[in-house]
Amino acid sequence: MTTADIISPALLAACAFPGERLVTPEVVREHNLNQFEYDKILGLLGRAPTLTELGVFSALWSEHCSYKHSKPILRKFPTTGPAVVQGPGENAGVLRLKDGWAVAFKIESHNHPSAVEPYQGAATGVGGILRDVFTMGARPIAMLNSLRFGSLDTARNRYLFAGVVRGVGDYGNCVGIPTLGGEVSFAEGYTGNPLVNAMCVGLLREEQLITARAHGVGNVLLVVGARTGRDGIHGASFASEELSEKSEARRPQVQVGDPFCEKLLLEASLELIHGGYIVAIQDMGAAGLTSSSAEMAARGGVGVQIDTALVPTREPGMTPYEILLSESQERMLVVAEPGRVAEVQAVCARWELGATPIGHVTDDGVFRVAHDGLTVVAIPGQRLVDDAPVYHPEAREAEAAIARRSAAPPARAAASIEGDLRALLDTPTIASKRWVYEQYDSTVQASTALGPGSDAGVAQVPGTSFGIAVTVDCNSRLVALDPYEGGKATVAEAARNIACSGAVPLGITDCLNFGNPEKPEVFFQFREACRGIADACLAFGTPVTGGNVSFYNENPNGAIDPTPTVGMVGLLESLDHRVSSFFRNMGDAIIVLGRTEGVLGGSALWAELDRFVGGAPAPVDLQAERRLQRFLVAAARERLLRSAHDCSEGGLAVALAECAIGGPYAPSGIGATVDLTPHAGALDPQHLLFGEDHGRVVITCSRMQADRVLVLAGEHGVPAVAAGTVGERHGSLVISADRSSWQWPVDELRRIFFDAIPRRLQHVATDAALEA
């Protein structure tokens, strides 16, 4: 029995706010609560809820806040390890780096708001994830973003894409956080339901960590930052239903971001935390004041008393219901000892922010809200959070999905290896994302060691000689075809990207974007993908430190492709060890690591050129991946590597081409001569060049070091074959295998790769033109 169970009914008295609607079955349904949940509320209160209380339950028991369909599955993630300072449950996870430094990081989705209003939806998504990180006491030092859209062939998708990118950029640029990486892909399944996942990474001294637990009876709750308006009321439950005509009607609830205010909030919050002025801090994200206050109280095992009439509002006449559920941006809830309130206000005033006491911590365990003294909410606080319903939906793989795995595409008549590579480099999903990341400030803070464009981004930890590497990844086609292997593959790719940069993978955060979990085939995807992620994390020793679940990503045509995005951070022992993706010097030896079986199931070749998404994806050998990671880090430490690039979509051919094309600001491409005969010459060329087996990396080293590299690979149990030589600038990429050979002028490939996206977007400048 918890303390909450013994709260006497007298403490739970509350009355309707004058003029508010009666709680009828219809109103309950509007709040997305089912009969079972409503009965639970009746039992918990011992009476009918007021409308305001119903709003509170609706928000906190929404999928978005309560994880009611995902909790039992998420519990299976490995969450502990020697580096874990803070696991899941707080605003962001925290991992230990070295010399007293720690990294706080988290990823979050803002899919539905971005579908309705791409610019503001994406911008406020960035704002939210930033707050999650700096409320831990960490200074944000890097942003990443993972985006999904339907095909760029339609105007609506181009509009969404351009608007989202501008929104992500404008917000992060203004706050002054460099974007160091991300990913964008385009597939039919995201038409009408784009995905916008933003990740933030921050640094703190381990002793500066602060958590979101209200404690100390009598301590004061303050709202800091922007005023509360009527925007985004019920955003949390909006995020927990499918997009429909109805969502269009919700448009007036769009939240508008103010990155300038966020920057002030960031500085003020860090000063409040590091100066020891406050005992707890929590951002007001989804479900605003409701979730921030209720969750802080529940974590601290205390009650809170709030008066909504004290909350500064943007417009007069707001009801307690509206104030509690508003999702106005750039607000924080802070807990301070009564004696320090004046100091808190002084710090905030210096940053031109208001800090207004709105209530205090109580000892009766009740989440109580009054408006001008009239109590409108009185709910047992712990149970409000802990007793959220939990569902165990049915999971069953769709027959069609099983059938797809054993299908193969019709043979293509005029397939040419040369043409196929050109075509693949021209597909927006594979092509350079320079058009995107040039809109993001990637060098502010003067700590960027590797910006966007390489396998992982790397930032220096200021004042030290080491760095952190960051990446986000997900290949949703693989997850769609085989959720378990796809889940493994996602973590494996992230870890490979980190290791290619020379860093040791440390841990992950995840953003699990799926359709409606009440559909058995969707829940199957979810459960299996999570199992794959968990197994990979266990094998790699990279715990899950937090994340976000986004369900109900559907549109009239069905669920999106399952997209469990993984954000990973790694430790780069010394900045001097960092490795970028591109060929560098003529005469360097090219070595191919790993094994190629030539699996085309789920490949970009089939999907993009044959319009066929099917076949069984290659299985992931987690132990082989682990050995590969260790080898890459060891070789980087010995400073043996000139470049390292992993093979993902498009297989060996695309990876080699990307190495030869070079970085976005290289003066030209650089040629190479590669003979894959010793690697896997017996394979059919299509399978050899475009197969998407995992665990493969193309590295280069000086010719003198090649033997040492091969020996080191052998010691680590990593298959490695010397396969060629880096050629001259403006040269050609020549690949041969067995008795065939193919050739491409690198500068032509370069043009295709960098033009693919801009040439499809010639007219989207208009949206930008109309920005006020």
Partner 1 sequence: MTYRVHVRVMPRAGLLDPQGQAVEHALSALGFAETRTVHVGRAVEIEVDAKSRDEAEARARLMCDRLLANPVTEDYQVEVEAD
Partner 2 sequence: MVRVAVVRFPGSNCDEDARRGAEQSGAQAYFVWHRDTSLQGADLVVLPGGFSYGDYLRSGAIARFSPIMQAVQAHAAAGGGVVGICNGFQILCEAHLLPGALMRNAGLTFVSKPVDVMVERTDTVFTWAFDRKTPVRLPVAHGEGRFVADAETLARLEGEGQVVLRYLKSSPTTEGNPNGSSNDIAGICNAAGSIVGIMPHPERVVDPRLGSADGLLFMRSLAGVRALSGAAR
Ligand X SMILES: Nc1ncnc2c1ncn2[C@@H]1O[C@H](COP(=O)(O)OP(=O)(O)O)[C@@H](O)[C@H]1O
Residues engaged in binding ligand X (CB under 6 A): 145, 147, 179, 181-184, 433, 436-437, 440, 452-455, 473, 497, 648
For residue 61, which amino acid is it? W
Please name which of 420, 427, 415, 257 lies closest in space to residue 327, comparing C-alpha atoms.
257
Cβ-based nearer residue to ligand X, 347 or 430: 430
Q: Is 728 in the site for partner 2 (CB under 8 A)?
A: no
Cβ-based nearer residue to ligand X, 114 or 648: 648
Which string of x and - marks every residue 100-139 that binds partner 1 (by CB under 8 A)? ----------------xx--x-------------------
Contact 576, 639 (CB under 8 A): yes
Q: Is 449 in the site for partner 2 (CB under 8 A)?
A: yes
Q: Is 252 in the site for partner 1 (CB under 8 A)?
A: yes
Residue ranges in 140-169 that form contacts with partner 2 under rule CB under 8 A:
166, 169
Looking at 31, 64, 371, 679, which residue is catalytic? 64
Instruction: Output the smallest distance, CB 22 to partner 2, in A.
Output: 44
Angle among Cα 381, 384, 387 to the nearest 5 degrees reads 125
Q: Is 460 in the site for partner 2 (CB under 8 A)?
A: yes
User: How many angstroms separate the CA atoms of 546 and 200, rounded?
Assistant: 12
CA dihedral sign of residues 173, 178, 181, 182: negative
User: How many angstroms separate the CA atoms of 538 and 533, rounded?
Assistant: 9
Cβ-based nearer residue to partner 2, 4 or 147: 147
Q: Is 153 in the site for partner 1 (CB under 8 A)?
A: no
Phi, psi (rounded to 5 degrees) for 214? -75, 130
146: enclosing H helix or E strand: strand 139-149
Cβ-based nearer residue to partner 1, 251 or 739: 251
Give how far the C-alpha of residue 163 lies from the chain's centroid of Cα atoms, to the nearest Å.
19
CA dihedral sign of residues 635, 638, 641, 644: positive
- Which of 537, 575, 607, 737: binder of partner 2 (CB under 8 A)? 575
Instruction: Output the smallest distance, CB 262 to partner 1, in A.
Output: 10
Which string of x and - marks every residue 304-333 that binds partner 1 (by CB under 8 A)? ----------xx------------xx----
CA dihedral sign of residues 665, 671, 677, 679: negative
254 binds, among partner 2, ligand X, partner 1, none (CB under 5 to 8 A by kind): partner 1
User: How many angstroms separate the CA atoms of 101 and 80, rounded?
Assistant: 18
The CA dihedral of 95, 572, 593, 428, to the nearest 10 degrees, is 80
545: enclosing H helix or E strand: strand 544-550
User: How many angstroms separate the CA atoms of 728 and 585, rounded?
Assistant: 8
Cβ-based nearer residue to ligand X, 122 or 680: 122
Q: Is 263 in the site for partner 2 (CB under 8 A)?
A: yes
Neighbours of 715 (CB within 10 A): 12
Q: Is 261 in the site for partner 1 (CB under 8 A)?
A: yes
Residue ranges in 553-582 that form contacts with partner 1 under rule CB under 8 A:
none
Q: What spatial distance separates the first Cα and last Cα of the chain, rounded to whole Å?
A: 57
Residue ranges in 518-557 that form contacts with partner 2 under rule CB under 8 A:
none
Q: Is 351 in the site for partner 2 (CB under 8 A)?
A: yes
Cβ-based nearer residue to partner 1, 280 or 325: 325
Q: Is 175 in the site for partner 2 (CB under 8 A)?
A: yes
| Length of the chain counted residue by residue | 772
Q: Name residues whose C-beta falls within 8 Å of residue 328's C-beta, 6 or more positions apart in sequence.
A: 226, 227, 228, 229, 231, 232, 255, 284, 288, 314
Cβ-based nearer residue to partner 2, 49 or 664: 664
The CA dihedral of 41, 42, 46, 52, to the nearest 10 degrees, is 60
- Which of 229, 300, 359, 457: binder of partner 1 (CB under 8 A)? 229
Q: Is 260 in the site for partner 2 (CB under 8 A)?
A: yes
- What does DSSP assign to residue 607? I
Please name which of 600, 764, 648, 660 lies closest in space to residue 183, comparing C-alpha atoms.
648
Angle among Cα 612, 615, 617 to the nearest 5 degrees reads 120
Q: Is 617 in the site for partner 2 (CB under 8 A)?
A: no
Looking at 69, 110, 360, 645, which residue is catalytic? 110
Q: In the annotation, is 694 catalytic?
A: no
| Binding segment toward partner 1, per CB under 8 A, in 207-215, 561-569, 694-702, 760-768 | 760-768
- Which of 352, 363, 372, 597: binder of partner 2 (CB under 8 A)? 352
Alpha helix positions (H), 213-340: 235-238, 245-249, 259-274, 288-300, 320-325
329 binds, among partner 2, partner 1, ligand X, none (CB under 5 to 8 A by kind): partner 1
The token duo for 447 is 């700590």
Instruction: Output the smallest distance, CB 260 to partner 2, in A.
Output: 3
Cβ-based nearer residue to partner 1, 344 or 764: 764
Cβ-based nearer residue to partner 2, 435 or 742: 435
Q: Is 766 in the site for partner 1 (CB under 8 A)?
A: yes
How many binding residues for partner 1 (CB under 8 A)? 26
Q: In the annotation, is 371 catalytic?
A: no
Burial 409-420 (b: 16+ CB within 10 A, else e): beeeeeeebeeb
For residue 523, which amino acid is it? F
Catalytic residue IDs = 64, 110
Contact residues toward partner 1 (CB under 8 A) are 116-117, 120, 226, 229-231, 251-252, 254-256, 258, 260-261, 314-315, 328-329, 763, 765-766, 768-770, 772
Contact residues toward partner 2 (CB under 8 A) are 166, 169-170, 173-176, 258-261, 263-264, 351-352, 437-449, 460, 462, 465, 575-576, 664-668, 765, 768-769
